Amino acid sequence: MAFLKEALRQNKLTIGSWITLGHTSIAEIMAKAGFDWLTIDMEHSAIDLRDAQNLIKVIELSGCTPLVRVGENNPYLIKRVMDAGAHGVIVPMVNSREEAIKAVEAVKYPPHGKRGVGLARAQGYGLGFEQYKNWLVNESIVIVQIEHIKAVENLEEILKVEGVDSFIVGPYDLSGSLGIPGQFEDQRVKEALEKVTATAKKLNKTAGFHVVPPDADALKQKINEGYRFLGFSLDTLFLGTNCKKLLESLNNLRIR
């Protein structure tokens, strides 16, 4: 399933979302809703490796690309989710060229990286190692998260690292690194994002952004700003926001 890799190469628009609840039915529903990719969040959730592997299976079988956002830029964590069958990883808090190299090396086997070789689900439990080895070189995906002002300052060097396919801005942490968490209209945040899109355009790299609210207009705005790898909200917000909205529309009918 090379669709996402090729889309990133060609700067084509893809829309995905975030999974923070470890139930396979949620992953199946979201995958069949039409998302291009889904990211299993192992940084800000209770999802463990067993959950993640089951979610990866369901997402993949539903014709969607499964990614995993690991909890940190840790070769051990990255190796395990890739062995579980993830098509790629989103690595948080990549703030320098050296940290980007570390992320790529954790995904790739030698000579392209430093990942240890195991025979788990991704390798067909030992029966598909040769195929997986070739797939890893050509189709595995490394996305770095740009969520600190240091990363913005070093973005050009980060994106020049061979093996980095794209990046995705984490707006809450980026604003937090400026001391103004959640204040997205502050001029400092706007200037940082302007620098991000200008650098991506200069290097002909696909720019990504996580639009956290389930707001289609906010998503369209980011498309207009040039972002093409777009995370659209997350499972809990889709569920909670829609429940709240529908119940509020019925408030005048309810007996208290």
Name the active-site residue from 23, 44, 87, 210.
Answer: 44
**49-61 vs 24-33: helix axis angle to the nearest 10?**
30
CA pair distance 75, 69, nearest whole angstrom: 13
Through-space distance between the first and last CA atoms of the chain, rounded to whole angstroms? 52
44 is catalytic: yes
Of 222, 215, 209, nearest in space to 241 by CA: 215
Which segments of the chain are extended strands (E)? 14-19, 37-41, 65-69, 88-91, 141-146, 166-169, 208-211, 229-234
- The set of catalytic residues is 44
